[in-house]
């Protein structure tokens, strides 16, 4: 049975933290495009930036980015802490924020493409990995919009078929189900990698071969979740080594790829 892989994007293939900070702050406060810059980033209060970086470890979709905007002091140690703050925010406020942030992202991407791309970088070795991987057996399942993913990959010389990118996914299980249906494979033949441990737990419970990518965004509490759920974790070095040298895989009895 052939093996198909599904990869998260932010925190696994690409680091776009600064772009997310700029889109969140500038979109929420109605800034103009001159604020989408290094100078604009430097003008954002340090306290917000640090809070955002901490909250980013718990984020699963764009709406979650509102949390550091509305709560700067409540301690967040666990995913439950983060979710409690988010659940207390009025859904209408979340929708307004998401609309503003999405519009600002589209605006900056369209009007300042070079600057926008500069705020994204592929993790070391990831360009080579994608260049040497059979992309006809590879999907991307991400909370980021598909157009952003395509443009970032294209700028790195990676031509990824639009039909193989499942963007703006709040619940990734639905996308994984679509992939297995398209490929006509059982869940265990789909190998799913994500830096959000909760997504990995959900996928594993649904029968997918799932792995927690520890080089992305995570918090100490997530290591406990992984251990309690018997989740297979993998570092970037190990992920790349398994792709390049599958016979020497130290993680799995059978090569992931």
- pTM (whole model) above 0.75: yes
The pLDDT of residue 3: 83
The distance from CA 230 to its chain's CA centroid, rounded to whole angstroms, is 22
pLDDT digits (tens, 9 = 90+) for 108-131: 999 999 999 999 999 999 999 999
Do residues 217 and 195 make contact, with C-beta atoms less than 8 angstroms apart?
Answer: yes
| Cα gap 201→150, rounded to integer Å | 27
Residue percentage of the chain with pLDDT more than 90: 91
Q: What are phi and psi of 91, to 5 degrees?
A: -55, -35
Q: Please report how many Cα atoms fall inside a 13 Å half-sphere around the Cα of residue 212, on the Cβ side.
A: 23
Mean predicted lDDT score pLDDT of the chain: 93
DSSP state of 79: H
DSSP state of 219: -
Q: Please report how many Cα atoms fall inside a 13 Å half-sphere around the Cα of residue 25, on the Cβ side.
A: 24
Q: What are phi and psi of 159, to 5 degrees?
A: -95, 105
pLDDT digits (tens, 9 = 90+) for 60-86: 999 999 999 999 999 999 999 999 999
Flag whether pLDDT at 246 surpasses 60. no
The pLDDT of residue 170: 87
The answer for residues whose C-beta is within 8 angstroms of residue 213's C-beta and 6 or more apart is 8, 11, 12, 193, 194, 195, 233, 234, 236, 239
According to CATH, the superfamily of the domain at 4-15+122-248 is: HAD superfamily/HAD-like (3.40.50.1000)
The distance from CA 36 to its chain's CA centroid, rounded to whole angstroms, is 21
Flag whether pLDDT at 250 surpasses 60. no
- Lowest mean pLDDT across 19-23, 154-158, 213-217, 240-244: 240-244
If you average pLDDT over residues 169-194, what whole number do you get? 96
pLDDT digits (tens, 9 = 90+) for 140-177: 999 999 999 999 999 999 999 999 999 999 899 999 99
Flag whether pLDDT at 217 surpasses 80. yes
DSSP state of 216: S
Flag whether pLDDT at 247 surpasses 70. no
Domain residue ranges of the chain, discontinuous segments joined by +: 4-15+122-248, 17-118
- Determine which helix (DSSP H) or strand (DSSP E) holds 218, and give its type and residue range: none
The pLDDT of residue 241: 87
Residue whose pair of structure tokens reads 């994007």 in the numeric block: 9
DSSP state of 125: T
| Cα gap 139→185, rounded to integer Å | 14
| Cα gap 101→204, rounded to integer Å | 32
- Lowest mean pLDDT across 15-19, 92-96, 158-162: 158-162
| Cα gap 205→101, rounded to integer Å | 33
Residue percentage of the chain with pLDDT more than 70: 93
The answer for residues whose C-beta is within 8 angstroms of residue 91's C-beta and 6 or more apart is none
């Amino acid at each position: 049975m052939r093996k198909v892989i599904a990869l998260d994007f932010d925190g696994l293939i690409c680091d776009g933290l600064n772009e997310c900070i700029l889109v969140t702050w500038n979109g929420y406060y109605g800034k103009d495009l001159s604020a989408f810059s290094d100078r604009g980033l430097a003008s954002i209060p340090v306290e917000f930036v640090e809070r955002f970086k901490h909250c980013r470890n718990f984020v699963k979709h764009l709406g979650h980015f509102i949390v550091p905007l509305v709560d700067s002091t409540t301690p967040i140690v666990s995913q439950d802490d983060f979710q409690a703050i988010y659940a207390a925010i009025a859904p209408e406020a979340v929708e307004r924020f998401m609309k503003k942030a999405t519009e600002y992202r589209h605006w900056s991407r369209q009007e300042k493409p070079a600057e926008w791309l500069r705020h994204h970088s592929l993790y070391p070795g990831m360009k080579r990995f994608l260049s040497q991987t059979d992309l006809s057996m590879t999907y991307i399942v991400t909370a980021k919009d598909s157009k952003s993913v395509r443009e970032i990959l294209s700028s790195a010389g990676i031509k990824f078929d639009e039909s193989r990118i499942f963007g703006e996914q709040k619940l990734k299980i639905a996308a994984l189900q679509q992939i297995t249906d398209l490929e006509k494979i059982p869940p265990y033949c789909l190998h799913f990698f994500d830096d959000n441990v909760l997504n990995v737990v959900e996928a594993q419970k649904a029968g997918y071969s799932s792995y927690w990518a520890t080089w992305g965004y995570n918090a100490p509490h997530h290591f406990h979740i992984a251990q309690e759920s018997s989740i297979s974790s993998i570092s970037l070095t190990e992920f790349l080594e398994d792709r390049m040298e599958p016979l020497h895989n130290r993680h799995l009895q059978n090569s992931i790829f």
